[in-house]
A and B are shown apart, each in its own frame.
Chain A
Amino acid sequence: MSYEMVQTLPEVDDVATQAVRRLDIKDFIDTNLDALYEKLKEADRGAPDDDVRFAASSEQMMRTIIYFMSGRKDALDAMAWVGEQWKGKTRDPNPMTILSMLALQYLEEEGMKHSDSDQIETWRRFRARLAAGTEKDADVAQNDFFASLASSA
């Protein structure tokens, strides 16, 4: 999927917030912003020249948080929500990947809101690297999906 496309959607922040609320991980992300920032920095250092690898590591980190910090019912409901939005649009998505990317989007927005200028630059770099890393793996159909999410938010 294209992360850059996701960012440019007008109401994607609302969708991202909606996703983390549905997953019930908003409080966890809000209270652990610093620790998650360090995790992303770790991924950044681990793949200095490979945006795809950085994007994969970041997505994996967020997927872990969703799997371990969400509730079973919340996770199933959120996956169903993603599935409903997708239904009939094009081929089946992986709901957990989409939820992970939305949660990453939320994390970055919150990170930028609560950081000093140095950190904001780093968050911007993370965002750019995610965009570059995911663009190479872009899927037009999933962009359509995000457009549909934004319009329904």
Chain B
Amino acid sequence: MSRKIGVFSPSDEWRGRAFVTVPLRELAGDEAASVKRVAMWRGGDRIPAQIDRIDPEFPDFNVVSMVLHNIRPGGAGLGLETVQLSPVLESDDSQPGDEDQPVREATPESLTVKAKGLGVYVEHDKRAEMWSNRMRLHIHLPKEPTEYQGGAITSIQLDDGEMLDPIRAEIGPRDHDPEKRLQVDRVRIANPPWYETPWTEYLVYKEAWTCVHAGAGPVRAFVNLRSSPFTVAHDGVSFVCHLHRVISVFHDVDHIIDDLYVTGRPAGKENDSPVQLSFAAHYFLKMNFSVFPEITRVPQIPDWFSIGAGVNPYPGYGFASSVPCGRIDNPPMDYPNIRSEHSAFSWELGFARTVQCLHMFKRKTPAGVVADETGRAWFDLIFKRARANIT
């Protein structure tokens, strides 16, 4: 394979670290389906890279992911090519002793994929666990027992400390807030222009979620979760749709990446290929930042915000997205629990076909610093992120 990959850095600053992807189909062409392994070379150095088959129904989503360090500035515009990489793709995955290769253990009840300190464990239809050297996530899949936790991340640990309920976690493992979670609770699909209402809203937190696919490698561990079906109907045509969340954890960082998309098939045509629909996601976060949380936004840049606390242990949360974020409600208008309304937040994103979100968690960090770090993460990892192209 003689193709090269050019990495472009649209920034005036050096980057210490960058996560980049290239579509597997562009890189491997007709061999994309059979490629099993990738080795990526930067000059004489091998860098971490992996093949991620995100969604079996969408081969176009399959990517080669890699992590690079020390990327020189490419300029604030489009960015100049600053790094050239040489990929080597192989169809044979039976090379023993290669510790970059994930270990995959599947049983009828569960699936475990792990590689180099990153991993995913999925207990079918019940829960998913993801971990890196700094973070650990617990994802609740069924709608039972509460009927509001479908697909929610109900525990987020950073450096072995629970982030969603930091004080109770410090006191002990008992009596954590049973409502604590981070989830996409609803999704809006646009109506045709002649409709009276601009969109229809679908609740996805009241039903079960399922795992579509999971993977791990030296770059990241990810799980692709799918909501229960909801039907979008217009003028006699209806689509059976799902919201997908692809959640990724990485080495050495205090954030996770959450890629969202909606797929739909014409009702009654299960064998047809699915299509992507434009949608607007709505997030719900139940995390305790004290009774007086400090929300920071920059009005001119609605793509990120942060929430911090003015008292010890200064927990912080930063959200950044590839689409603008609307009003942040604290508490959400339909939130029923007055006693803990100070720790309930919700916000809506703008319409798009795919959305990339970043959730950052901090401890012992004043609210102003959380805001600075979130803004920087938005710029470096989403807005002006390093990009890789086949050259």
Chain A interface residues toward B at CB < 8 A: 24, 31-32, 35-36, 60, 63-65, 67-76
- Nearest neighbor of B290 in chain A, beta-carbon distance: A67
List the A side residues contacting B291 at CB < 8 Å.
67-68, 70-72, 75-76
Q: Are B309 and A67 in contact, with the CB atoms below 8 A?
A: yes
Main secondary structure of the interface of B (DSSP, over half): loop
User: Is B338 interfacial (CB 8 A cutoff)?
Assistant: yes
Chain B interface residues toward A at CB < 8 A: 166-167, 171-172, 175, 288, 290-292, 309, 311-313, 338-342
With contact pairs A31-B175, A60-B312, A72-B291 given, residues A65 and B342 touching in the complex (Cβ less than 8 Å): no
Q: Are A71 and B292 in contact, with the CB atoms below 8 A?
A: no
Q: Are B172 and A69 in contact, with the CB atoms below 8 A?
A: no
Q: Are B311 and A63 in contact, with the CB atoms below 8 A?
A: yes
| Selected contact of A72 from candidates B171, B292, B311, B313, CB within 8 Å | B292
Q: Are A64 and B312 in contact, with the CB atoms below 8 A?
A: yes
Q: Max chain A CB contacts within 10 Å: which of B172, B292, B342?
A: B342
Q: Are B341 and A72 in contact, with the CB atoms below 8 A?
A: yes
List the A side residues contacting B172 at CB < 8 Å.
32, 35
| Selected contact of B167 from candidates A69, A73, A75, A76, CB within 8 Å | A69
In the complex, A69→B338 CA distance in Å? 13
In the complex, A64→B171 CA distance in Å? 12
Q: Are B167 and A68 in contact, with the CB atoms below 8 A?
A: yes
Q: Are B339 and A71 in contact, with the CB atoms below 8 A?
A: yes
Q: Are B339 and A68 in contact, with the CB atoms below 8 A?
A: no
- Nearest neighbor of A32 in chain B, beta-carbon distance: B171
In the complex, A74→B312 CA distance in Å? 20
Q: Are A68 and B288 in contact, with the CB atoms below 8 A?
A: yes
- Nearest neighbor of B172 in chain A, beta-carbon distance: A35
**Nearest chain A CB to B103 CB, angstrom units:** 39
| Selected contact of A67 from candidates B175, B292, B338, B339, CB within 8 Å | B292
Q: Are B338 and A64 in contact, with the CB atoms below 8 A?
A: no
In the complex, A71→B288 CA distance in Å? 11
List the A side residues contacting B290 at CB < 8 Å.
67-68
List the B side residues contacting A64 at CB < 8 Å.
167, 311-313
With contact pairs A32-B172, A35-B172, A65-B167 given, residues A71 and B312 touching in the complex (Cβ less than 8 Å): no
List the B side residues contacting A60 at CB < 8 Å.
312
- Nearest neighbor of A24 in chain B, beta-carbon distance: B339
- Nearest neighbor of B313 in chain A, beta-carbon distance: A64
8 of the cross-chain contacts (CB-CB < 8 Å) are A63-B311, A67-B291, A68-B166, A71-B339, A71-B342, A72-B292, A73-B338, A74-B339
Q: Max chain A CB contacts within 10 Å: which of B288, B311, B313?
A: B311
In the complex, A60→B340 CA distance in Å? 22
List the A side residues contacting B166 at CB < 8 Å.
68
In the complex, A64→B314 CA distance in Å? 10
List the B side residues contacting A70 at CB < 8 Å.
291
Q: A32-B171, A72-B342 are in contact. List 19 more A-B contacts (CB 8 A).
A: A24-B339, A31-B175, A36-B171, A60-B312, A64-B167, A64-B311, A64-B313, A67-B290, A67-B309, A68-B166, A68-B288, A68-B290, A69-B167, A71-B341, A71-B342, A72-B292, A72-B341, A74-B339, A75-B292
In the complex, A71→B312 CA distance in Å? 17
| Selected contact of B338 from candidates A31, A32, A71, CB within 8 Å | A71
**Nearest chain B CB to A65 CB, angstrom units:** 7
- Nearest neighbor of A60 in chain B, beta-carbon distance: B312
In the complex, A75→B291 CA distance in Å? 8
- Nearest neighbor of A38 in chain B, beta-carbon distance: B171
**Nearest chain A CB to B79 CB, angstrom units:** 43
In the complex, A65→B291 CA distance in Å? 10
In the complex, A32→B290 CA distance in Å? 19
List the A side residues contacting B288 at CB < 8 Å.
68
**Nearest chain A CB to B339 CB, angstrom units:** 5
Q: Are A67 and B171 in contact, with the CB atoms below 8 A?
A: no
- Nearest neighbor of B166 in chain A, beta-carbon distance: A68
**Nearest chain B CB to A100 CB, angstrom units:** 11
